[in-house]
Structure 1
Amino acid sequence: MANKETAMALDSEIAETTLSPLARLEAQSQDYARMVQALDWLAERWLDRPSLEDAAEAIGLSPFHFQRTFTRWAGVSPKTFMAAIAHAEARKALDAGASVLDAAFDAGLSGPSRLHDLFIAHEAVTPGEARRRGEGLDLTWGWAPTPFGKGLFAMTPRGLAGLGFVDGAGEEVAFADMHRRFPAANWVRDDQAAAAMALHAFAGGDSPLPVVLIGPPFHVQVWKALLRIPTGETATYGQVASWAGKPKAFQATGAAIGANPLALLIPCHRAIAKDGRLTGYHWGLARKAAILGSEAVAAAKAA
């Protein structure tokens, strides 16, 4: 059985090398969907450093298939990934496991989404435009794969204005969640444009990724403050409030973080509780752990 599984794994890896960038992104998106239950389970238990066998059993996979699928998605083993989630110990743990990281990448396993290479050119709309909640704005939107599941991209002529994710509730709920942010805009669907934006963000593109911030002035201040948190690191909500110019406005800062329409690109996932807990995230705790772990791995690899 082990020989048969190994042969199947090799065949699959050979096939993966022939995929186009968009097909590779689709495969990574599908792997994330398979791993979301595991990520949710690991997000609650990473401090205990659960074994590979325990994690695999918890989601109903053999250790071999769990290790292989997880590593193909994350670029590193589940054990190394869990070390990356432990932010206070991440650099120390990853440095100690550098040979594991090097072996994973040298073997041609997919990297953690190019988030460390992602450049963002952000531009805020005027307060008047924000108040009109998209009135007079043409928004092109569509579905496209991302390393963290199926994404909904909302684009203006000036850049990307929204990025959300589809979860168990389905596409209609995901669209409604994004639409309520800009209810007065003219929405036009174009999945090809969304796919092109996804490729720019996650699979290449040397030019900066243009991002348009549409929201009330304080929300925009908070979103810009979030951009100060380096990839692979985190900050407390209190720190973000201070950077936004209102160190005592914890509730308002939390509301602004929760209202962020640009998942990943405006890194609200890097804001954590003062005690280091991975607290609630609009697009799910499992996805927050997945993004933080991927970024920590990418930062360690680039160091």
Structure 2
Amino acid sequence: MTEQQNINYNRIAEAIAYIKNNFQKQPNLDEVAQKINLSPFHFQRLFSEWAGTSPKKFLQYTTIEYAKILLKENQATLFETAHETGLSGTGRLHDLFVNIEGMTPAEYKNGGKDLIINYSFSESPFGSIIVASTEKGICYMAFVEEKSNAFAILQSHFPKAHFKLNFDAIQQNALYIFTHDWSKLSQIKLHLKGTDFQLKVWQTLLKIPLGQLTTYGTIATKIENPNASRAVGTAIGSNPVAFLIPCHRVIQSTGIFGGYMWGNVRKTAIIGWEGTKAQANF
């Protein structure tokens, strides 16, 4: 990310944080622009370029009421309703993830011994990311602030693996998710390290359609363990693949967006960004 891109990202992130914290007041364009020291015209243009929609529409997508409406309208039939309305068909994000493979018990136990993991750093609409892959698929992806610390965290997930700084075709295909028409992408394969319970939760997350939100309790019901909401939350918090496994689409039953491993502002930004894509494709 260039210095100017970084400045722009930080400005938009600050604007999103302000909108999120003041949504009940419905701040207008001038108010938000003043908070980040830009003219309303410059702010409108910069925000629209970055988020793909106007600040006013983005505010609508990211308010708590928006979250509550989505939940109220779908609830137990979230996936079915989304399919019937065409949202999952137009975005078809979860359809790309046809193959999800957990590491063997031996691989899981020995910390990735003998695994060769390629990794690289790239840019996304939501900041810098680190992405890593084995010969079987994407094994790790995270938003990063500092590269050396990000690599250390990756190593901690696979302490005995062999790492190569290499941007391979598997990573490239996965990162197209940010910039290409999703209906034209190739299958994205995941090679994940987790317990059977975690893998089941992560696989269920892949079925949440673009532009839709769900709750921890709904996920627990979907995996046929309705009393496991807390365990589901823990598994979601252990998600090793940011964005591709959309844990950002899970919120509290009250409609509050809740926490996110890679920052609450980023979660809000992603939800709004996906909301605009879903609306455009509907």
The residue type equivalent to 1:146 in the other structure is S
Deviations 1:98-117 (A, max 9, x none): xxxxxxxxxxxxxxxxx936
The residue type equivalent to 2:67 in the other structure is H
> What secondary structure does 1:209 align onto?
coil
1:4-43 correspondence to structure 2 within 5 Å? 31-43=8-20
Distance 2:279 2:107 in 1: 40
Deviations 1:76-98 (A, max 9, x none): 1011011112234479xxxxxxx
Note closer, same or farther for the CA distance 1:208–1:33 as it changes in structure 2 (3 Å cut): farther
> What secondary structure does 1:124 align onto?
strand
Note closer, same or farther for the CA distance 1:252–1:70 as it changes in structure 2 (3 Å cut): same
Note closer, same or farther for the CA distance 1:202–1:254 as it changes in structure 2 (3 Å cut): same
> What secondary structure does 1:121 align onto?
coil
Task: Say whether residues 1:173 and 2:173 are aligned partners.
Answer: no
TM-score, normalization by structure 2: 0.81
The residue type equivalent to 2:97 in the other structure is I
1:237-248 correspondence to structure 2 within 5 Å? 237-248=216-227
TM-score, normalization by structure 1: 0.76
Distance 1:281 1:64 in 2: 31
Structure 1 residue ranges without an equivalent (≥5): 1-22, 92-114
1:216 match: 195
Task: Say whether residues 1:78 and 2:55 are aligned partners.
Answer: yes
Note closer, same or farther for the CA distance 1:131–1:192 as it changes in structure 2 (3 Å cut): closer
1:49-60 correspondence to structure 2 within 5 Å? 49-60=26-37
1:1-303 correspondence to structure 2 within 5 Å? 31-85=8-62, 86-89=66-69, 116=91, 118=93, 119-125=96-102, 126-167=104-145, 170-191=146-167, 196-197=172-173, 199-204=175-180, 206-303=185-282
1:224 Cα deviation (Å)? 0.9
2:81 match: none
More divergent stretch after superposition (266-275 vs 53-62): 53-62
Contact 2:248 2:270 in 1 (8 A): yes
**Number of aligned residues:** 255
The residue type equivalent to 1:171 in the other structure is K
1:257 Cα deviation (Å)? 0.4
Note closer, same or farther for the CA distance 1:26–1:58 as it changes in structure 2 (3 Å cut): closer
Structure 2 residue ranges without an equivalent (≥5): 72-89
Percent of aligned positions with the same letter in both sequences?
36
Give RMSD over aligned pairs: 2.7
